[in-house]
Amino acid sequence: VQLQASGGGLVQAGGSLRLSCTASSSGRAFRQYNMAWFRQTPGKEREFVASISRSGGRTDYIDSVKGRFTISRDNAKNLLSLQMNSVKPEDTAVYYCAATTVVGGPTDSEQYFHWGQGTQVTVSS
């Protein structure tokens, strides 16, 4: 599966941003992948942000974004989204979408084998 992330930009603290990730696949269908968003800042390891199961029925978040971010997917449109509300300067990072066939919505980036190119999110204080 090929992933293309978009929607990043500059936003003020307290504002909102919506990231999108479109998928195209010549093999497995999008709905057969568990999906996730990760983020990375310079000099740090890639950090798990949120995941969603194949059907969308199960989601998981890191504590720092719970209640502020919402991950969702539209399998009919091959689309993954991350709605970011009440953003904070510490949310500044490059955000990546990722796909895996590993069950359970893993939080380890090494369990994901397909990655989008990343989209920069910058939150100003």
As a whole number, mean pLDDT of residues 101-107 equals 87
pLDDT recorded at residue 27 = 81
Higher pLDDT, 13 or 26: 13
| Residue 64 to residue 82: CA distance in whole angstroms | 15
The chain-wide mean pLDDT, for the chain, equals 96
Encode pLDDT of 19-62 as tens digits. Answer: 999 999 878 899 999 999 999 999 999 999 999 999 999 999 99
pLDDT at 78 over 90: yes
Would you state the pLDDT for residue 17?
98
pLDDT band at 105 (very low <50, low <70, confident <90, very high): confident
How far apart are the C-alpha atoms of 39 and 44, rounded to whole Å? 10
Within 8 A by CB and 6+ apart from 35, the residues are 21, 51, 52, 71, 73, 80, 97, 98, 99, 100
| Residues written for the chain | 125
